[in-house]
Amino acid sequence: MTVDVVTVPTDHDAPSELFEVPGPLTTPAGVAERRRTPAEHARSLVQNSILGTLSTLTRDGDPWGSLVSYGVLEDGSPVFLVSRLAEHTRNLEGDPRASLVVAEQAREGDPLDHGRVTLAGRVVRPEGERLAAARAAHLAAVPSAQIYIDFGDFSLFVLEVERVRWVGGFGRMDSTNAEQYRDAEPDPVTPHAAYAISHLNEDHADALLEMARQLAGYTDATEATCVRADRYGLDLKLRTPRGVAHDVRVTFTEPCTEPNGLRAATVDLAKRARAAAAA
Amino acid sequence: MTVDVVTVPTDHDAPSELFEVPGPLTTPAGVAERRRTPAEHARSLVQNSILGTLSTLTRDGDPWGSLVSYGVLEDGSPVFLVSRLAEHTRNLEGDPRASLVVAEQAREGDPLDHGRVTLAGRVVRPEGERLAAARAAHLAAVPSAQIYIDFGDFSLFVLEVERVRWVGGFGRMDSTNAEQYRDAEPDPVTPHAAYAISHLNEDHADALLEMARQLAGYTDATEATCVRADRYGLDLKLRTPRGVAHDVRVTFTEPCTEPNGLRAATVDLAKRARAAAAA
């Protein structure tokens, strides 16, 4: 492979040279590239927050947004605990259509270059076993709701998800359907990813650079920064004499199955990179 | 005044003793209590963020939420820079009704016990001088938008605010109208409030306690924590032998007019409290 510069396909009505990025100089070694599916991204994002913005419809059909806390049922459905006194509750009683936006905590850089998901569907009041599960899910996520969950004006609503839109940041976005969302597993390492990323960047920049050169095909990389970590691998940002390459993937030998799996998986990547350099 | 316990009026369908809180034991001294109006809260919140959730209507009239960055015009109207490729843009082209939710950064404690505001109205495409002002306002808030503001698929939209709902946290909420919102001044000290609060709590707990005892009428307070700071004063959380008192106000002699005004205003409060203790 001798590709030097790749023009990323884009629908933006803009000069195409803005989207030229350096590609790998050799064929990436080893494990086939693997990334989370849009459904896995969405499930992981929803699972790892307890706060979102709910969009509902007023009596006049106007769109109305409000902040809500939520828990998550095993099938990924969000559970809200809402007061009859709140406008969104009156809205939902009039029209059950709703959507929930959950966003990652903002990081450095452009505020829109980080993950969020929109779940759209209809709310229902759960009954029987579903009600018991909804109550447990909400209290697990928001323990302080114990204080008001039994107030007479509060009810539990479950959003039955019909449509899912995931946006990972600039140029990373996709839609998925209710079935794929429900069947996707939340990424177990997400709660530990932010710590792992800073640790790698602060203490193991040399190992990241070796991964970029030996495993990702960027033999001319001069600096590597980890920007994302998930159960399947790491995304690196690389400096090369040909420019900056974003979202360069290095894939783990095996996906992580445990919350604390990132450490062993990245140590294994570093070993593979060192072995390839020595070969 | 000999009030010992106050039952806060509430519409919640819940046991009223949950809402009993200890009141002041003596008449609060000095300056008349002053708080920000709901419109001032809303303007300050919107001014001090650049990221919110926009609710729009799909072709079927379903509510659809998505993350947007925004700038703010002098009259408080948010300005969005949206791509024709994005679903919210197609929604707004079909129906201009929209609302924007802006939330404070989450703090400790219950995730719903912090500030947020909903601005509802209709979007318009600004023209002439309004377009130039909108462009400048958006770029001032989101400098990185310079990269894509001139792409052919991007347009500026202004939300003309018709209705405003502010929620400060549990039991602190109110609505305001477009005129009051437009005329309210954003609180100049908000960007410095978080630092001032931690500094007061870490280094001046004794001064806060003296303020509670001498200026707020809680002569039996044993511990005081600052929970909020704004141009007009501080909100304290107090421990007393009669229970915990929330949102106890101590009002500055003069409102702050400058971003860095909190320091002088709190030093003045501490002096007033010490003078009252010595009297």
pLDDT per residue over B54-98, tens digit each?
Answer: 999 999 999 999 999 999 999 999 999 999 888 999 999 999 999
Q: Are A149 and A140 in contact (CB under 8 A)?
A: no
Question: Is B14 close to A142, i.e. CB distance below 8 A?
Answer: no
Interface test with A, best of B17, B57, B62, B118 (most A CBs within 10 A): B62
Tens-digit pLDDT profile for residues A56-110: 999 999 999 999 999 999 999 999 999 988 899 999 999 999 999 999 876 666 7
User: What does the mean pLDDT of chain B come to?
Assistant: 91
User: What percent of chain A has a predicted confidence (pLDDT) above 90?
Assistant: 76
d(CA B157, CA B184): 22
Is residue A5 scored above 60 in pLDDT?
A: no
Tens-digit pLDDT profile for residues A100-144: 999 987 666 677 778 999 999 999 999 999 999 999 999 999 998
Q: Which of residues 161-180 of B touch A (CB under 8 A)?
A: 165, 167
Is residue B7 scored above 60 in pLDDT?
A: no
Is the minimum CB–CB distance between B62 and chain A shorter than 8 Å?
Answer: yes
What is the CATH class of B24-35+189-278? alpha beta
CA-based nearest residue in chain B for residue A148: B14
- The predicted pLDDT at position B28 comes to 77
Tens-digit pLDDT profile for residues B203-226: 999 999 999 999 999 999 999 999
* H or E segment and range at residue B179: helix B178-183
Local confidence band at B5 (pLDDT 50, 70, 90 cut-offs)? low
Question: Is B65 close to A65, i.e. CB distance below 8 A?
Answer: yes
Complex-level ipTM = 0.89
Longest dimension (CA), chain A: 70
What is the CATH class of A49-183? mainly beta
Q: Are A164 and A178 in contact (CB under 8 A)?
A: yes
- Whole-model pTM? 0.90
Query: Which residue ranges make up each domain of chain B?
Result: 24-35+189-278, 49-183
Q: Which residue has the higher pLDDT, B236 or B17?
A: B236
